[in-house]
Amino acid sequence: MSSIKMFEKPLGMRDKFPQIYEKVEAVRHTGRNFLRSRGYEFIKTPTVEYFDTVGKASAISDAHLFKLVDSQGNTLVLRPDMTTPIARVATSKLLKEMIPLRLAYFASVFRAQETEGGRPAEFEQMGIELIGDHSVFADAEVIVTAMELLKQFGLENFKVTIGHAGVLNCILQDYTESIEQEDVLRTLLVQRNYVGFEEAVASFDLPKTKSDALLQFIEEAMTLKEIRDIEKYVRKNDALEYMQQLAKLLEVADLAQYVAFDFTLSSHMSYYTGMLFEVFASGSGFPLGNGGRYDGLLEVFGSKVGATGFSIRVDRLLETITAQASDKEEAIVVLFEEENFEEALEKIEALRAAGKQATLQLRSSLVDEAAFLTHFTKVVVVGQEEIRGE
């Protein structure tokens, strides 16, 4: 075990400096107002949960869980996602009071990193859960809410890619010859390793009709113009009809231009059993968020109700909206000498009463005045009637 250096942080942990902190708070404020206006009530769950409940039910792998032990010897985890704790709360209490439930959150989640690769071990998520509704209209509401939330942040250049676990499972079952082969191909799709997918299909020594169908499916399924183009690969089933209904609802909502269908879409979040989607936007090389239907997760906690939702990674969202926040907020500093303190106090109180962001600073305490003043848009020097930055 190597010694810990004075300023070293745990693997994957990040400091949040004032400028970023304020941007996150602005995102929280905008998101909260918007989601509450859509009928979603905010909820907060504990940072620490029992491993035997939330830890085991979560789709996050055991290797990526932060584990602790309490004084009674129980294994705990830092919450690895928000959907699982909310499912626990909903089934234990809230579903007895109201169905469907519309819940929202803004919270940190924790996922342990094995090596330093630039990935955070703690990050904020903002999202919603719609619990107690099996209908396609609930899925449409969740997707529309995600799109309109992005628009609240001024984003227009984004895309929502939608797939369905049931359709993909049907294709993999029909064109492979074992559960092991299905699992290999599904894992490669989660990793978006399409070259590996093709190599795996070749290694399976499948009948030519099956291998050809799988390879053609991979080539075409990511760029479908219409859902009916997938019908040649899959026998008619409820999942396909469900997706056709969903596509029509998104057209009615006049949001079809933001939608792409990709039936190769799969997720490491194994509790997604139906429709699932990812959100992409220019400015970030990774998905901003994801969501989908996870009816089976509620059954783990003893409740057979439908559930769907989405989450947005706040750090990735910030990457896409930095241009909006480029204008520096007005910040005033009032400099004074000791003999001018009373006058300075009157001036700062007047500025703050007018709603200004104002800092009061004894001038003789500054080590590097020029460097200090670069952080302000306006400087007022008491006693000299000097104002800079106007």
- Binding-site entries for L-histidine: 81-83, 111, 125, 129, 271-272
Q: How far is CA 126 from the centre of its chain?
A: 6
**In 33-61, which positions are buried (b, 16+ CB within 10 angstroms) versus exposed (e)?**
ebbeeeebeebebeeebebebbbebbbbe
- Residue-level length of the chain: 390
Residue 297, H or E segment: helix 295-300
Ramachandran region, residue 29 (left: φ > 0; alpha: ψ -120 to 50; beta: rest): alpha
Task: Report residue 279 as tokens.
Answer: 């959100």
Q: Which residues have C-beta within 8 Å of that of residue 209, sequence separation ≥ 6?
A: none
CB atoms under 10 Å from CB of 319, counted, come to 15
Q: From CA 255, how far away is CA 165, in angstroms rounded?
A: 22
Look-up of token digits 């250049």: 157
- 290: β partners: 278, 311
Q: Cβ distance 332 to 315 under 8 Å?
A: no
Residues 115, 40: Cα–Cα separation, whole Å? 37
Q: What are the b/e assignments for 270-304, b being 16+ CB within 10 Å?
A: bbbbbbbbbbbbebbeeebbbbbbbbebbebbebe
Residue numbers in the known binding site are: 81-83, 111, 125, 129, 271-272
